A = this chain, B = another copy of it.
Amino acid sequence: MNYVKVPMDIEKGSFEIIGKEMGPHNFNDEELQIIKRVIHTTADFEYKDLVKINNNAIEVGKNLLKKGVTIYTDTNMALSGINKRALKKLNCNVKCFVDLDDVHKIAKERGITRSMAGVEKAVEDKVEIFVFGNAPTALFRLMELMDENKANPGLIVGVPVGFVGAEESKRKLEKLDIPHITIRGRKGGSTVAASIINALMYMVVER
């Protein structure tokens, strides 16, 4: 069969098609890299109007990544989607605590989600970048801890997908002063979350 077999050619071709089909826009180059990578991941052009990059999130994100930080993800799936080679080059690492035994235990004892208990542990560990693709409860819990001055993250990529709580959690995030990238409405997800972090990493490191 005749099909393109070179990964970088597939990606390059995809980005060209996305550029052609997405139509006019006012994004700068770096914003465009994020939007295009989200569309590349979903084949959903609606994201062009849904991705919101607020409070200097790109500049702050790039600087954090260059510094070599820990990224916390709400799911192992988002963690899996983050490019490990780029992470390594940047001296960054990525963690997800939802499968830890003590996180299970705390969640059960207190009747909260594992996602919430995982975020609490990440806050204790002074994680600087939080990435949420699935769990509105994780994003809500982080914002509660910020309200109580117990958490002070550098950047939040808050794009939980879903029908219960997701949209509300992202609306609340958009009102905050903190650098963040989010998706309006119900859409989002772990592939979207990972693609945003990857786009930021590819701005500061060669793959």
Contact = CB atoms under 8 A, between A and B. Distances in A.
A40 B7 CA distance: 30
The complex is assembled from copies of this chain, and their number is 2
Nearest to A144: B1
B194 A77 contact: yes
A17 to B, nearest CB: 4
Contact of A3 (B1, B13, B75, B169): B169
Contacts of A79: 80
Contacts of A9: 164
A112 interface: yes
A188 interface: yes
Interface string A97-111: 000000000000001
Interface stretch (A122-130, A135-143, A149-157): A135-143
12 contacts: A1-B144, A3-B140, A3-B169, A5-B116, A9-B164, A10-B165, A13-B163, A42-B42, A43-B162, A43-B163, A43-B189, A77-B194
Q: Which 6 pairs, one residue from A and one from B, show the smallest C-beta to C-beta distance?
A: A43-B186, A14-B163, A77-B80, A80-B80, A13-B164, A17-B163
